[in-house]
Amino acid sequence: MYTDGFLKISRKILDWRWYTNSNTMRLFLHLMLRANYTDAEFENHKIKRGQLVTSRKTLAYELKMSEQAIRTALKHLKSTHDITIKTTSKYSIITMLNYEQYQTPTNTLTNEQQTKNKQLTSNQPQYNKDKKYNKAINNDEWTGSFTLEDFENHSLFND
């Protein structure tokens, strides 16, 4: 199923009108997770990024909720302009209206954070009780392998 990638969620969702409504919140997250992240074709329809093809019955099955609960949650999301629904005789195409706003990558911040974290990590001194190990590390003699004895004698949880 949908096991690749990730979903970006802003902490602003804590202030969202439907955050405390468990069915609506759960459905919204499910729709975000299921929405296409690239354009695709389905039965001669172009399904764009941020859209998905589904039905109330399918959503009820996937979320283990009643169709009435799904209908109510969809009504909530439509009323606050979070989604639109185009219905055919066989299925519905749901569009997440702010999908691009939610899911556009923010590489600038991410790269800056990674650089800062990398600098902090590389500047931290390495500590180990085993002087022979530390000497090997400092003199670039370390082979990078451990023996079972090394693990038994130098547990991370021993002081």
Can you give the pLDDT of all 159 residues of the chain as single tens digits? 556 778 888 888 899 999 999 999 999 999 999 999 899 999 988 999 999 999 999 999 999 999 999 999 999 999 999 999 999 889 999 999 988 877 876 655 555 555 555 655 555 555 555 555 555 555 555 455 555 555 455 544 444
Burial class (CB in 10 A: 0-12, 13-18, 19+), 59: buried
pLDDT of residue 103: 80
At 158 the pLDDT is 46
Whole-Å CA distances, 63 to 1, 10, 20: 14, 23, 17
CA–CA gap between residue 58 and residue 64 (Å, rounded): 10
pLDDT of res. 44: 87
Cα–Cα distance for residue pair 91/56, rounded to 1 Å:
9
Place of tokens 């009643």: 66
Q: What is the pLDDT of residue 65?
A: 97
- Any idea how long the chain is? 159
Give the CATH number of domain 11-103. Answer: 1.10.10.10
Q: How far apart are CA 40 and CA 2, in angstroms?
A: 15
Domains of the chain, by residue range, sit at: 11-103, 127-159
Residue 103 has a CB neighbour count (10 Å cut-off) of: 18
Number of Cβ atoms within 10 Å of the Cβ of 69: 19
How far, in whole angstroms, is CA 13 from its chain's centroid? 14
Q: How far apart are CA 149 and CA 152, in angstroms?
A: 5
The residue to which tokens 């702010």 are assigned: 98
> Which amino acid, residue 69?
A
pLDDT of residue 79: 97
| 137: its two tokens | 């590390």
Packing angle between helix 67-79 and helix 22-34, nearest 10 degrees?
A: 80
